[in-house]
Structure 1
């Protein structure tokens, strides 16, 4: 019989052997908890290893009726499918009830991005306060190089030399190393922070960006500081780190038209993941057309 110990062992393997990010492991834990809860609602003493495909289809229908969208359900099915495959490899299952089950499709939402003017307003800030200098360096680096939140939080002081030379090495998803250019404003902001970092950083702390107590800064703190900065600068929308990554990709694509280069800088395994920014680029072109073409203007 499959027990909760199997779930914990699987999650430990994801974290330690497959080097999945803490965020991914946390999502998998939550999704498997949902699965166990749904199984517990079935009549009789049904267990994980007794679940069949018709049960999974019922679960998905129930979750969809509760308001979960297609993308959330697809992610959940992926987590369940991976767990059942792992059980099969360890001889605890003979069939995977998730195989063949697909989530309902939902409209593909385009990522929200800042306009170039909004990005400039967000980053046009000056302060002598040490944590504001740190924030400026982090936000400039997000927008300059399109880093993920976990990638930026994981940077060490050893990356300073590369950043000053105009590039940053980050370890992305699935431990994939990539090299990304760093713009002049981001370089200057990081150097300014490096000069003041010793005022906050703990002894022998290796993290480039540290929190108020001197340890490596927590991703949640970065998110909250960015949100506060956006409000202070009067931006009309809630800004999060991934929005700066989206803005980076969209603005570079608008200027260069080089989809492959954007793919490399973002660290996307498939160009299909990058192609969504072509739709954003088209929206930008459409707005330019509507405002400029003499036969497109409304009376």
Structure 2
């Protein structure tokens, strides 16, 4: 703590200087954390200077609300504003302990919620382009079966990696999946393209592993393939298959859900296939479906003429 003795109206910069000394010497926060505080509080100091707010005891909750709105208009997102408000609360709490402020004027002020990001998906043509992997060597046969199965049945990465050969009902083209959350199981259909790829994969798999290995998808060492290996292979396949954007396992799952909803319109069915406990989780795909329908409407209807913003 410094020897600084605050005047009646404490200048903002003097309080900041003392706060940074406190963080460095007493709290011994990491340099990274100190840098984040400095950046966040610097934004507020700049705002205060623009508004001619030079003394801490003159700050009110309304000043903080206006600052939040100002930073939000300048493009700062919800999560960044949450962290910014947290930095302000810590600083003001320090000032209260020093008796430079009587209350924490940032308490109870919430940042605007960030808009929920819709999951990225492939359209039907892109999905087919990605999963139609050509080649007969071990890696390519495995990868073709793996991506076809993820897209066919909407599997999570953890689910496809955990699959055993015995989880497949080869005669009825069905698949038993045990989800990681609560070990709940569900039975899913397997599409004909995925079944064909799986049956072609089995002979290659047998050449690289023993009968004692249960894993459906293995590496060339004969052991179960890992999460990271699948992610890396899909990144490489994205280039190989000429995709415009890198494809990750969850993008195939999202694409499966979106395409199923577009075709069936049955949200409960999609919920069941995905293994969502709550239908609200599945409802994000209704937004994707609406976007698709809106685009089709705009292109197809002779009297569409819709504008993005109502006048």
Q: TM-score range by the shorter chain?
A: 0.5 to 0.7
Query: Which runs of no fewer than 5 residues in structure 2 stay unpaired?
Result: 1-22, 29-35, 42-75, 84-107, 307-311
SS in 1 for 2:182: helix
Counterpart of 2:246?
238
1:290 paired with 2:298, answer: yes
Decide which of 184, 187, 200 is 1:176's aligned counterpart. 184
What is the Cα deviation at residue 164 of structure 1? 4.4
Counterpart of 2:284?
276
CA deviations on 1:42-101 (whole Å, 9 max, x unpaired) are 98579xxxxxxxxxxxxxx96x95999649x89xxxxxxxxxxxxxxxxxxxxxxxxx99
1:190 paired with 2:198, answer: yes
CA distance in 1, matches of 2:292, 2:122: 12
Number of residue equivalences: 221
Counterpart of 1:12?
none
CA distance in 2, matches of 1:169, 1:264: 13
The question of whether the paired residues in 1 share the 8 Å contact of 2:145 and 2:197 is answered with yes
Give the number of the structure whose alpha-carbon radius of gyration is greater. 2
Pick closer, same or farther for the CA change 1:65–1:228 going to 2, 3 Å.
Answer: farther
1:165 paired with 2:175, answer: no
The question of whether the paired residues in 2 share the 8 Å contact of 1:202 and 1:215 is answered with no
The question of whether the paired residues in 2 share the 8 Å contact of 1:164 and 1:187 is answered with no
Pick closer, same or farther for the CA change 1:252–1:293 going to 2, 3 Å.
Answer: same
Moved over 3 A (4+): 41-46, 64-71, 100-104
Query: Which runs of no fewer than 5 residues in structure 1 stay unpaired?
Result: 1-40, 47-60, 75-99
Pick closer, same or farther for the CA change 1:199–1:107 going to 2, 3 Å.
Answer: same
CA distance in 2, matches of 1:266, 1:291: 31
The question of whether the paired residues in 2 share the 8 Å contact of 1:291 and 1:297 is answered with no
CA distance in 2, matches of 1:131, 1:219: 16
CA deviations on 1:264-284 (whole Å, 9 max, x unpaired) are 110101000000000000000
